[in-house]
Every structure is written in C-alpha cells, then in structure tokens.
Amino acid sequence: MGGASPSPTERLLRACRGEPVDRPPVWLMRQAGRYLPEYRRVRERLSFLELCRDVDRAVEVSLQPIDAVGSEAVIFFSDIFTPVPGLGVEVEFAPGPTIAEPIRSGAQVEALRAPDPRESVPFVFEILRTLRAELASRELPLLGFAGAPFTLAAYLVEGQGSRHFGTWKRMLWREPALARALLARLTDLTVAYLNAQIEAGAQAVQLFDTWAGLLSPADYRAWVQPTHREIAAKLDRAAAPLILYVNDGAHVLEEAAESGADVVSLDWRVDLADAARRVGRRVSLQGNLDPCALAAPPDEIARQVARLAEEAAPARGHVLNLGHGCLPDTPVEGVRAFTAAARRLGGETRA
Ligand code: CP3
C-alpha cells in the first residue's frame, strides 16, 4: 500500500469523494439498536423517544457500536421522525412511527409550522457536538442523517408503516397539488435540519429514502428526484458529503446518481459491479450486504465482504455497509465478523 494508513475519518471522506484509499471504510446502517445487549440494557429504563431526547444516554448508545462491533463511523442515535413534532405533528413509536392525525387535507399542510430545528430539537445538536468532541481523539467520523421528504410524507399521510403506502400513492394522482405542497414543506425541513447537523459537527450526512423505490422510474423522476436535487444543492457539501439511500431502488439508480449526492447507498438486490458500470464516475457507492447474511459463519461473511469489495472495484469509491439496517435478531458475532473482514482487506490483522 505504501505510506501510513489514513485515519478512519480520512478514509471515509476520501471514499465518499472518490479519492484513492487503501481499503473501503466500514459502518452499518442501524448499527445501534436492539441486537446489541448494551442497547437493550439502556432501553430497559426508558422509552425509545425518551432515549432520543436524553443527550447522555443517546451519546452512550451512539458510541456502543465502536467497541461492541468494531464500526469505523458513528451515526448519532435518533430517528428520521425526530424533527417532525416541530412541524406540529404528533408522532409515537409502536415500534415504528405512528401518526395520530394523518395528513390528508390542504388545511393540515397549511397549518404545518416551519421550525428552526436548532430551537425545536436542540438536543439533536447537543448530541452531535458531544459526540464530535468524544470522537476527536479516536479520529472516527461522525455521521448525521435525515429522512427524505417522500419517505416522511409516506408515513405522515398513511399514519403508519404499510407495505404499499396506497393512501399516499393515491394522493399523488388524486391531489397532486396537496402532495407537492407537503413534499415542499418537508424538503425545507430536511435542508434546515441537515445543515444544522453539519454546523453541529456532522462530517457526512445520509438521506434515507426508504420508500421511494415504490415508484416507477417516471414517477420517481416526477416526485422524488426533485426533492433530492434541491436538498443536495442547498446543503453545505464542501463541509460534509451527502450519501443517498434509496431502498429497493435498482430501477432508479441512474436517477439517484444524478441527484447531486456524493454517494449512492444500495440495497442487496443490485450487483455492485453493474451499479458501478451504470453510474460511472458520478458517485461513489455504499453497501450492500443483505443484513440476513450476517447470520452466516464468520468465514462465509469474510468471503461475502471480499466479493463486495471486488464487485465495487470499478466504482469511483466504495463504503462497505449493509443493503438495509441491522435487524433486532442480527447476531453480534456476524457484525463483528463483517467489520473485521473489512479491516483485513487492507492487510490489517487486528480483528
Ligand atoms: O443507524 C443508526 O444506528 C441510527 C439510528 C436510526 C434509527 N432509525 C433508530 C431506531 C436510524 C438512522 C433510523 C432510520 C429510520 N427510522 C428509517 C430509515 C432507514 C430504514 O430503516 O429504512 C425509517 C424508515 C425509520 C422509521 C422507524 N423507526 C421504524 C420503521 C421503526 C421500527 C422498526 C423497528 O426496527 O422496530 C423505528 C424505530 C427505531 N428507530 C428503533 C431504532 C433503534 C427501534 C426502537 C426501539 O424500540 O428500541
């Protein structure tokens, strides 16, 4: 390789920007959560919402995946729905987000507030500032995140999680002006929220569009891509690269690559080599092991990691990750094997 290896922060930022690295950096979506005994112990004493708002506990839980599973980046512990009460909408978790009064009318969209997240959810920025100070000595990068407008709107209109989000998708056709107005409000919120996270110390930010893959390519171009482009254009990307995750998005990969994001995060239904051919040098790629594959024995996980790294070799850059988040029944041993295998790609022997 030659020369000293870069710090985990440099490695991640270089991979995001498509600059050469010794090996891919590694972290996992939903790396803090119920699969970790350390997390479950903290959660025994407080609810998920209380945990998101308790700065010391949220910092503690955010840091757990470093030692517990060897992750090389920290994503602050929270949820994509954290900034939503600032709009004036009540959200509960059971365990997924539920909205007592789903948004179905123009009057409800009109009534949404335009909060300054630094005032409506000050604890988020306190968590980020504290984490950034904690991480400085370890040279590990701090990631911020937000839900994308389409995915937030899907829950706000539907009222809860759903397989097809039919109420929301029908709104696109029956009341397009209403749907557009809602997306516009959520886009403004997302821009303000992510820029405030960058200001508070986030070194890269990920936008989660979990449900945008429900649309056809044409509908995605009409409804989703403009929101991503506006967010990418209005973020301070010189300070923090933007990672865009679209679940089940193989059919809209080119559109994701043309969003202005620096990295496109892929689910496991796409071959990384194909993806690299399709997006060329426009973006780096992140992903994309099936989270269920972490149930395999360690040597099989190592083979899968080597396969992903090889597939991703033609990409501009590669951040090793899962294709979706860790699940509550993900084996801790499997996650450890995943990060250890990533380190061995660079010839490091430390597990
Ligand atoms: O990645 C991380 O470790 C940071 C934390 C994080 C959480 N949610 C914590 C969480 C992040 C980045 C999210 C994102 C999120 N939240 C998404 C987008 C990514 C994805 O998974 O598709 C979505 C759609 C949500 C909404 C949400 N929040 C759902 C559907 C659920 C329930 C599902 C489940 O896992 O039970 C939540 C709750 C939630 N968010 C938990 C955690 C750790 C479980 C809370 C608990 O009971 O302890």
**Torsion angle defined by CA atoms of residues 105, 110, 116 and 121, in that order, rounded to the nearest 10 degrees:** -30
Q: One digit per residue, pLDDT tens: the chain, 351 residues?
A: 445 789 999 999 999 999 999 999 999 999 999 999 999 999 999 999 999 999 999 999 999 999 999 999 999 999 999 999 999 999 999 999 999 999 999 999 999 999 999 999 999 999 999 999 999 999 999 999 999 999 999 999 999 999 999 999 999 999 999 999 999 999 999 999 999 999 999 999 999 999 999 999 999 999 999 999 999 999 999 999 999 999 999 999 999 999 999 999 999 999 999 999 999 999 999 999 999 999 999 999 999 999 999 999 999 999 999 999 999 999 999 999 999 999 999 887 654
The CB of 210 under 6 Å from ligand 1? The reply is yes
The letter for the amino acid at 147 is G
Residue 39 to residue 32: CA distance in whole angstroms: 7
H/E element holding 270?
none
Q: At residue 56, what is the residue type?
A: D
Catalytic annotation present for 129: no
Task: Enumerate the H helices of the chain as residue ranges.
Answer: 8-17, 37-43, 48-53, 55-69, 106-110, 117-120, 122-136, 149-158, 166-174, 176-199, 217-223, 225-234, 253-257, 272-279, 298-311, 332-345
Point out the ligand 1 atom lying closest to the alpha carbon of residue 31: 3
CA nearest 95: which of 40, 23, 38? 40
Ligand 1 centre and the CA of 117: distance in Å?
Answer: 20
Q: What is the pLDDT of residues 184-218, one digit of tens each?
A: 999 999 999 999 999 999 999 999 999 999 999 99
Question: How many angstroms is it from 30 CA to the middle of ligand 1?
Answer: 7
Is the alpha carbon torsion for 205, 210, 213, 218 positive or negative? Answer: negative
Question: How far apart are the CA of 313 and the centre of ligand 1, in A?
Answer: 30
> 245 CB less than 6 Å from ligand 1?
no
The reported pLDDT for the residue numbered 347 is 80
Q: CA 128, CA 251: separation in Å to the nearest integer?
A: 35
Does the C-beta of 39 come closer than 6 Å to ligand 1?
no
pLDDT number for residue 2: 47
Residue 251 Cβ contacting ligand 1 at under 6 Å: no
Ligand 1 pocket: which of 69, 80, 330 to mutate (most atoms <8 Å of CB)?
Answer: 80
Q: Which residue out of 14, 17, 22, 30 is catalytically annotated?
A: 30
282 lines ligand 1 (CB under 6 A): no
Atom of ligand 1 nearest to the CA of 328: 35
- Report which ligand 1 atom has the smallest distance to the Cα of 161: 30
Mutate to test the pocket of ligand 1, among 30, 286, 288, 322 (most ligand atoms within 8 A of CB): 30
Q: Please give the distance, rounded to the nearest whole angstrom, from the Cα atom of residue 139 to the centre of ligand 1.
A: 26
Distances in Å between the Cα of 269 and the Cα atoms of 86, 223, 287, 289 are: 35, 23, 11, 9
Q: Tell me, yes or no, if the pTM score tops 0.95.
A: yes
Angle, CA 23 vertex, CA 17 and CA 28 arms, to 5°: 75
Answer yes or no: 155 catalytic.
yes
Query: Of 14, 43, 132, 237, which residue is the catalytic one?
Result: 43
User: Can you say whether residue 88 is alpha, beta or left, with left for phi > 0 and alpha for psi between -120 and 50 degrees?
Assistant: left
For residue 286, what pLDDT is reported? 98
> What backbone phi and psi angles, to 5 degrees, belong to 219?
-70, -35
